[in-house]
Every structure is written in C-alpha cells, then in structure tokens.
Structure 1
Amino acid sequence: MELHSKYQLGLVCVMLLLPALCTSQDFTSSRATYYGSPDCYGTPRGACGYGEYGRTVNDGSVAGVAGLWRNGSGCGGCYQVRCKNPQLCDDYGTYVVVTDYGEGDRTDFIMSPRAYARMGRHPDASEELFKYGVVEVEYRRIPCRYGGYNIVLRVQEQSRYPDYFAVLILYVAGQNDITAVQVWQEDCKEWRPMRRSYGVVFDAENPPRGELMLRFQVRGRAGLYWVQARNAIPGNWEAGAAYDSQVQLD
C-alpha cells in the first residue's frame, strides 16, 4: 500500500488537492471506517457516477458518505478528516474527495484503505488503525484545488446520440456543490432543466439538436448562482467523450 506523501517526500501527484489549512472553520465530531479494495484505491462503481475518475482522483484518497450526500450534490466535496487518537494519528489527518454513498456504524465517512491509512502518524500506526475498524474522527469541509484543470463535462456511456444525453461534471474546485444543470433550447429561447439521474449525472431525453450549451447552478460561499460553460458541447457529441468547459470556480 502506498502511504501519504508525508511518509514519502517528493511524491508528485498530478491530481493533488491542496487543502486550505488556515481556514477557521470548526471541525465536526464523527466516526470513520474503511471499505475493502484490492488496490487500496476507490471504486469505479461509486454512486456519484464518477467511474474511473472516482477510483483515482486525489491519488485514491476518497470516501463514501451518508449524511453529507445531500441527494448527490455532495459528490465531489473535499474534506479534511483526522482521528482523535493522538498516539496513532497526527494533527493533519487525511484529505478525501466524496465519490460514493455509504452507510456505516454511525459513521460519516467510509474511506478507501489509502485514505484511511493516511490518518496514521506513521506506517505502523496506520496498520493499528485498521485493527480498530472504526475510529472517532473530526472533519471539516475544505476547498478542492485542481491545478491546470477547468471543469470538465463528460458525456456518460449510456448516452445515445442524438436521442438521450447524460453528462457528468468533473473537477469542480472550491467549496462548491452543483445543484442543477440546464441545457439551452434555441427554438424556444429558454433554458431547459435536466434531470438528476443519480449522483452528479444529469440527463435529458430528446436533447436539442446541434451544439449543446449548458449552465449549472452552484451552491457555495457566494450563495446560489448560475455558471454557463463557455465552451459548447459539439453537435456531434459522442458517448464517453469529455469536453473542457473553459470555466472554473473559486
């Protein structure tokens, strides 16, 4: 098992999430556990719909949540989680991205083994944490940071051109939740709501022909507001393709 970079100096991760350690946000007490994984990463079958992205984002430090799920809008949220055992755990803990829904024994986080191990002070302490199975923790929401990435709009594999369109929104930075998505209906000159299919997958039957202009509703520190993707999805879109929105959130 590869452990946190605090054990391996110099580790460079292209998709590293940089936590805002100076925030004054209070921690919330809870419990955390872990799930089985053959490679210690996340699972591509997570309820958020992320697929392979949900397995490897943040170097595999991911978690399933229940109370923080918020009907799927909690997907992609980043959290600092640290356990309360000072003999085994340090003050920094681990940083996880929500990629799945999961319920445990009064737990808020069910982590990948990689994320769970990173709460330990050192490798031996991490092994001891696994023996506990469930540990007392405290957590707080932190901004996600994706250096060099705009928000990406990924057309889901179940999409059927041109009659059914489903899209997944990736690399949402900051402390922001995507609560709704709309597509522009040119013939009616109006924004048409898309349905939240599951997790953060939004879909539409009989989508507009030609280029697809999308906008998404964001809930963050600035309140509730709409952001339009500057880059349209091309009219000949394909299932499985990913398109750069040319926008990013703070």
Structure 2
Amino acid sequence: MAAASLDQSWSFRFSLLMASILAISCKSSAAFQPSVWQLAHATFYGDETASETMGGACGYGNLFATGYGTETVALSSTLFNNGYACGTCYQIKCFQSQWCYGSVPYITVTATNLCPPNWSQDSNAGGWCNPPRTHFDMSKPAFMKVADWKAGIIPVMYRRVPCQRAGGLQFSFQGNGYWLLVYVMNVGGAGDIAQMWVKGSKTDWISMSHNWGASYQAFAALGGQSLSFRLISYSTRETIIAWDVAPANWNVGLTYKANVNFH
C-alpha cells in the first residue's frame, strides 16, 4: 500500500509539473493580438497597376510573385523602425471624411516599403511622412478600397493585426558561398523578425546581422551544406526553427520555403 501511495503521489506531482510546463510553453508562443485603434492619416502612391510599389525598402521584389499583391503600404519612418516593421500588418479605415467609402469597413495591408521624410515641405502640408508623424502611404488600389482617390489624403483609424499567411516562411537567397544574404518573406503572426541565425549541416548556429529591410546576412563559408534557420519575432519574442530549408546544392537567386510560421 505504501508503494502504491508513493506511486500515486509521484504520478500526481508529475501531472502538475507537466501542466506547468505546458502552460509556460503556451504563454511563450501566445498568438499576436491586435492593438487598439489609433488615429493617423493616409495617402497613396503609384497608379492603379501598383507597379511603383514593386521592390521597395523591405526588399520583397515583385509583390505579386511573393504573394503580397496590391494590398500593401509604405510606412513613415516612425513606424518603419529601420526595417524591423517590414512584413507587419495593419487594418486601416477611412475616418470622418466626405471621401470615405461606407461600404468597406477597413482594409488589411502589409508593410512592404518606407515613406521617407520630405523636409523641404511642412509636415502638415506635403511632408506627411516627416517624423514624428504616423502616416501610411498606401498603394493606389488599396487606398481606393476605402476612399475616393481624389481626396489625396484622408484621416484614418488604424490598428496592428496578426498577419494571416499560408504556405510557411520563404527565404530568398542572395550573395555567394562566403556571404549569404537572406530575405525573409511570408511571415505570419506579428509579421516581423528581430534576430536570425543560420546553421549549416557542418556548422553550429551562426548569428546573422540585420542588413536592411527584411534581410539578414552571414559572413561564412556555407556552400555545399544544407541550411537551417532560427528566427525570433520582434514583437512577441517567439522563436521558431526551420530545419533543412535549403539543400546542400542551394544557390543564390532562388527562394526556399519552410512549412513553419509564427503564430
């Protein structure tokens, strides 16, 4: 009986321990939550084709090919955060303007570009993206879903929201066998990345430095090795590992996919 009681006591304690570990794990990987609505202003750039939005300060290239499409936005530097806001998502709605379309409550856009300051113009008369202003310069197709483009500039309400992405992370390779530059795309959850590491099949984890936009670099001889990546979200600090993303015969100019993503 004593042994049975001891076994039952140990089983109960073990169950409590496992429950605690599970709770901590769930807390550390909690899904990104929407922020509160805030007031800002929005303009647009380019035309109805959104051709001028291609490329951009985040380095996503052709936004149609990389899955972002036309529902994108350039952020003022106050929001852009030196590129760490690349890939973040926002809901934007026209607010108390005669130009608002009442049929569309809001549009969800992804940050793919920077709206730079224009110090030659007043912040309230043309220099819309001058710090410390919070401003959204939307693609014209996105702007036209919430307001008449003839308005030029509109007051908006916005909030940060989780990014809904399908298909997992995408890693676009540039550089060479001794310098690997990686653009990270299709990031779900908070949409952002704070830190990144690469691991070759013959190396330990190598820290990658932030280059610009959504790109990270490693100065290491990684040619001929399969590559894995470890990433940390800027906003939630959630960590994920994407194992064996690229095969040993990887090459620059190609994009590799991993069936993992942030929550």
1:76 positional shift = 0.7
Report the counterpart of residue 217 of structure 1 in structure 2. Answer: 232
Report the counterpart of residue 252 of structure 2 in structure 1. Answer: 239
1:132 positional shift = 2.2
Report the counterpart of residue 204 of structure 1 in structure 2. Answer: 218
Report the counterpart of residue 154 of structure 1 in structure 2. Answer: 172
Question: AA paired with 1:240?
Answer: G
The separation in 1 between residues aligned to 2:86 and 2:185, in whole angstroms, is: 10
Report the counterpart of residue 119 of structure 2 in structure 1. Answer: none
The secondary structure found in structure 1 opposite 2:79 is coil
The separation in 2 between residues aligned to 1:144 and 1:219, in whole angstroms, is: 14
Query: Please, what TM-score do these two structures have when normalized by structure 2?
Result: 0.73
Report the counterpart of residue 101 of structure 2 in structure 1. Answer: 89
Report the counterpart of residue 43 of structure 1 in structure 2. Answer: 53
The separation in 1 between residues aligned to 2:94 and 2:65, in whole angstroms, is: 23
Q: Which of 153, 156, 169 is 1:134 aligned to?
A: 153
Report the counterpart of residue 183 of structure 1 in structure 2. Answer: 198
Q: Would the aligned equivalents of 1:230 and 1:247 in 2 still touch at CA under 8 Å?
A: no
The secondary structure found in structure 2 opposite 1:46 is coil
Deviates most, 48-57 or 29-38:
48-57
Query: Please, what TM-score do these two structures have when normalized by structure 1?
Result: 0.76
1:186 positional shift = 6.2
Change in Cα spacing, 1:30 to 1:50, as seen in structure 2 (3 Å) is same
The secondary structure found in structure 2 opposite 1:208 is coil
1:143 positional shift = 1.4
Identity fraction in percent: 28
Deviates most, 83-92 or 30-39:
83-92
The secondary structure found in structure 1 opposite 2:82 is helix
Change in Cα spacing, 1:42 to 1:79, as seen in structure 2 (3 Å) is farther
Aligned length: 213
The separation in 1 between residues aligned to 2:90 and 2:73, in whole angstroms, is: 10
The separation in 2 between residues aligned to 1:64 and 1:226, in whole angstroms, is: 27
Report the counterpart of residue 164 of structure 1 in structure 2. Answer: 179
Q: Would the aligned equivalents of 2:86 and 2:191 in 1 still touch at CA under 8 Å?
A: no
Give the number of the structure whose residues are more often helix, by fraction.
Answer: 2
1:93 positional shift = 2.1
Change in Cα spacing, 1:57 to 1:185, as seen in structure 2 (3 Å) is closer
The separation in 2 between residues aligned to 1:143 and 1:41, in whole angstroms, is: 26
Deviates most, 88-97 or 133-142:
88-97
The root-mean-square deviation of aligned C-alpha atoms, in Å, is 2.4
Q: Would the aligned equivalents of 2:178 and 2:222 in 1 still touch at CA under 8 Å?
A: no
The separation in 1 between residues aligned to 2:262 and 2:91, in whole angstroms, is: 20
1:52 positional shift = 0.5
The separation in 2 between residues aligned to 1:183 and 1:44, in whole angstroms, is: 28
Q: Which of 123, 145, 168 is 2:164 aligned to?
A: 145
Q: Would the aligned equivalents of 1:33 and 1:107 in 2 still touch at CA under 8 Å?
A: no
List alignment gaps of at least 5 residues for structure 2. Answer: 1-32, 117-126
